[in-house]
Amino acid sequence: MLGAVTVTAAGAALSPDTASAAAPPAEPQVRGSFKITDRRGKQRFRLDSRKPPIIIDGQEIPAAQRGGPENASWLIFNDDNGNEIGGILAGTTGGSITFDYPGALDAIKMSSIWRDPVGGAGININAHPTGAPPTGPKERVLLGWRSDLGSLLHLTDSQGRPRITLEVDENDTPSIKVLDTDGKVVAQLPPR
């Protein structure tokens, strides 16, 4: 015998040692959420079919404060202290893979979205938040495509303002633009 294996799933414990010898083997089923904790009881992963709470510095923040759809497939990653450090989200209109800075602030996010007739995909890279308290991450790089806009690469300044954009619009027209801090075009290829 390999020994007992116990899995906690939505408050129920499943163990091969407690199964009836006469009962046919059944596929284990989990409804709601599924948590994996380490030996110290710290959450390391959470799989949920509803928007889960956020754990930051040992505090549980209500799920209502999290962005994203209420009903979707959520897989949350936690560090060795139980703090959220990223996750995977899959829903009816899109999905994402995110890795976070401390405080559950997006560092890098790869996402897709589809809402007929518009669809797209992108990668966002954010600067590490600074200040006291942190002001939140500022987007520094956006690489993406949308069916109604075309493809793009935006490079931003420390305030998250686009400063250089490379685009191929939905009509296959390419452009490169350099913008000032107010978003005004100061140089462009092809010239207009």
Which segment of 6-10, 53-57, 167-171 scores lowest on mean pLDDT?
Answer: 6-10
Helix, strand, coil shares of the chain, percent, nearest 5, are 5, 55, 45
Cis peptide before 117 (omega within 30 of 0): yes
Please tell me the distance from the alpha carbon of residue 187 to that of residue 5, in angstroms, as a whole number.
64
Token representation of residue 114 = 């589809």
Closest CA to 92 of 72, 121, 64: 72
Which segment of 19-33, 109-123, 164-178 scores lowest on mean pLDDT?
Answer: 19-33
Neighbouring residues of 70: CB distance < 8 A, sequence distance ≥ 6: 50, 51
Which segment of 62-66, 79-83, 103-107, 110-114 scores lowest on mean pLDDT?
Answer: 103-107
In tens, the pLDDT along 118-162 reads 999 999 999 988 766 667 788 999 999 999 999 999 999 988 899
Is the per-residue pLDDT at 4 higher than 70?
no
Which carries the bigger pLDDT value, residue 29 or residue 9?
29
Token representation of residue 55 = 């754990």
Separation of CA 45 from chain center: 14
Contact call for residues 120 and 145 (beta carbons, < 8 A): yes
What DSSP state is assigned to residue 63? Answer: G
Token representation of residue 186 = 């100061």
Please tell me the distance from the alpha carbon of residue 79 to that of residue 35, in angstroms, as a whole number.
14
Is the per-residue pLDDT at 6 higher than 60?
no
In tens, the pLDDT along 71-95 reads 999 999 999 999 999 999 999 999 9
Torsional class of 11: left (φ above 0), alpha (ψ -120 to 50), beta (otherwise): left
- The mean of the pLDDT values for the chain is 86
Residue 162: is it exposed, middle or buried by C-beta count within 10 angstroms (0-12/13-18/19+)? middle
**pLDDT of the residue at 2:** 35
Contact call for residues 73 and 59 (beta carbons, < 8 A): no
